[in-house]
Amino acid sequence: MMRKLLILICVVALSSGDRMGAYQDVKKKFDKFNLFAQCFGNEAIFAHYKHIEDANAYCKENAEVGDSLNAIDSFTDEDIESLKSLVDSPAMGKFNRQKRNAAALEFFQALIGEHRAEMKSKMTRLGCVLKKMEMIDSDGEIKVWDYDALKPIVEKTPAGKDDDFVRKLSDMYSDCRDIAAAWPQKMLDRHPLTKLYGRKKIYFECLLKGEMELCYKYQMYEALKMQFQVDTADTNLGFQGDKFEQAKSAWLLGFEHRDEEFKFVNDFFWSQNRD
């Protein structure tokens, strides 16, 4: 009876942990949504969210193998041979019985098969969604939005009304493309998946992080004007960089030079370490 109770408690604990993990993940997505809503407005971000949802729903039914961003099996026949060597190695000596070896190899091969199918499905869905959202073209090549293409899309949003922001955003897209293109092929060749997909991954990781960073800087710039009536577009504070970089530096320097009691009180109200 006690054993059954302990098992039940463990199952409930694991289930609760999964829900808490999902809850934290959802909160982070809401934080990102709210961040972008401050830059582009609720209406534009809701439309962007709906675009992703609609593309995902469409691709669930219509994605094709050709949408898979050129992804290939991330486990190859060489990996199978490596597993055979692992199973037969001295390190596995205590398990070194023929039947157990065969069972272990069969188990790993089954996992690899599942992994291959799962990765193909995910990469196909992602490639299809990126095409629907016009982030890659019909040939699977990255589409980089320049200023002239970007301005009409965002010009009615709070940040989009700021030409400096739009130019910085388009320059960031271009920089991410250059970073991805310059990434050493030797590093990408170390895994068959990154060999073909790696540059796209680098580009989109750079793009998504860059968008968040620029949105934070835009808010720091606007907050500096609102709270201190200082516009770093007109006033050079002596920091390096454009008005967004200067605003960021001003906030960082301001917080660094506050006394510890001020920081303590500030953290009391604004810290997110209460998850």
Each residue of 115-155: pLDDT tens digit? Answer: 778 888 888 899 899 999 999 988 888 999 999 999 999 99
Alpha carbon separation from 180 to 77, 207, 223 (Å, rounded): 29, 11, 33
What is the band of 21 on the pLDDT scale with cuts at 50, 70, 90? confident
Tens of pLDDT, residue by residue over 202-237, are 999 999 999 999 999 999 999 999 999 999 999 999
Q: Domain locations in the chain?
A: 1-40, 50-138
Average pLDDT over residues 28-50: 96
The C-alpha atoms of residue 129 and residue 172 are separated, in whole angstroms, by: 22
| 250/254 Cα distance (integer angstroms) | 6
CA distance 231 to 223: 10
Is the pTM higher than 0.95? The answer reads: no
- The CA–CA distances, whole Å, from 258 to 197, 226, 255, 262, 266 equal 46, 20, 5, 6, 10
**For position 8, what pLDDT does the model report?**
41
Query: Under DSSP, is residue 275 helix (H, G, I), strand (E, B) or coil?
Result: coil
80-100 pLDDT per residue, tens: 454 445 445 555 455 455 555
